[in-house]
Amino acid sequence: MTKKIGMKRYDFDEIIPREGTHCLKYDAREWMFHTNDVLPLWVADTDFRTPDFIAEAIKNRAEHEIFGYTFKPDSYYEAVIGWMKRHHNWDVKKEWILFSPGVVAGLTLAIEALSKPGDGVVVQPPVYFPFFDCVKGTKRKLVENPLVLENGRYTFDLDDLKAKVDKNTKLLLLCNPQNPGGMVFTREELEGLANFCLENDIVIISDEIHSDLVFSGQRHIPFASISEETAKNSVVCMAPSKTFNVAGLSSSLVIIPDKTKRGRYERALNIGHLGMGNIFGTVALEAAYTHGDEWLKQLLDYLWGNYLFLEDFFKKHLPKVKVMKPEATYLIWLDFREYGMNDNELFKFTVDKAKVGLNNGGKFGSGGDGWLRLNIGCPRSVLEEALKRLAGAFGTL
């Protein structure tokens, strides 16, 4: 265990070169954009230094110099339980907590554990694009239930959902907070979806990887915390990876209150001998959830400042672009449709003309064409440079 830390200020303006570290965001630009000459704001990790209390915990463990088979101690589970209670007002029991190398891996394992090939799985686009791969890769039937854009945010279309499902529809993949839109679905929205799924015997697998990154005035509600009935009908996937910038340590949580579903997931996990995880991922997760409260507060303050900077910049220099105001996450969903470019044209323009590497909206499914996703999890000077490049390419700066 690492020692408790005192109050300190963290420097999110620090520029930390990431080239040459096998960093996907920077070192894979040639693969993603066919050029290295772009400022990358695409992959959903941040350019901020991983907190010192996590690095210290890893260094302390590394000093032992034997990295054999391991297990997760009680202090690991206590850290998870404490974090969920403090940040999400969710009382989680130790036995509910299972492992996955990543949230997408957890989604895939849950699909395989709780359905069979040919069963219907609902996906609600525009949404994090690996959802589509999880369904198609496991030979399940993709059932698309597009979100509805109302008053500047997405919400569920339960009428469309009712028309799409049948007795072979077994699962629904929920993304909350929503990626790429940044919504934090309300209790009323979640209850409506939960009740529909209970009535139709559809299990909800909820990706809540961005749940810690919720801005002031909003509150994330873990899907399984809505009611006892919903808890029995849900699987919740979480991780410290987005919050603390430790995605490379491959350590995520799959929380399943229902004993039967938990057993089926655990069997799928164990068939692949995936349950142990790695030593440093375990150490990092425990340190993050034990010591990360103040760091997260400062991170959210900085990210919100970045968003306000971006919002003001677009109003002044790119007013034709509609910015979806985030309720959570460091991912900003930008509507460029007034420029009249299709998805490929817009993507090529931002790469070739603006020299900025963003995610093209079409990858997120129906409703994404003409949009771009931009990552503000970077020093403000980097964000400013990227925005100036965009405005310069459009001739508005």
pTM (2 d.p.): 0.95
What crossing angle do the helices spanning 52-62 and 279-291 adopt, rounded to 10°? 140
List the Cα angle 353/355/360 in 5-degree steps.
90
Query: What type of residue sits at position 351?
Result: V
In order along its 397 residues, the chain shows pLDDT tens digits of: 334 445 789 999 999 999 999 999 999 999 999 999 999 999 999 999 999 999 999 999 999 999 999 999 999 999 999 999 999 999 999 999 999 999 999 999 999 999 999 999 999 999 999 999 999 999 999 999 999 999 999 999 999 999 999 999 999 999 999 999 999 999 999 999 999 999 999 999 999 999 999 999 999 999 999 999 999 999 999 999 999 999 999 999 999 999 999 999 999 999 999 999 999 999 999 999 999 999 999 999 999 999 999 999 999 999 999 999 999 999 999 999 999 999 999 999 999 999 999 999 999 999 999 999 999 999 999 999 999 999 999 998 7
Q: Bridge partners of 174?
A: 206
Q: What count of Cα atoms within 13 Å lies in the side-chain half-sphere of residue 89? A: 4
Closest CA relative to residue 226, chosen from 258, 262, 193, 200: 193
What is the predicted pLDDT for the residue at 7? 75
Q: What count of Cα atoms within 13 Å lies in the side-chain half-sphere of residue 249? A: 26
Distance CA 261, CA 390 (A): 48
What is the predicted pLDDT for the residue at 2? 39
Closest CA relative to residue 385, chosen from 301, 306, 323: 306
Closest CA relative to residue 222, chosen from 62, 86, 41: 86
What is the predicted pLDDT for the residue at 6? 55
Distance CA 256, CA 263 (A): 9
What is the predicted pLDDT for the residue at 397? 78
Q: Bridge partners of 245?
A: none
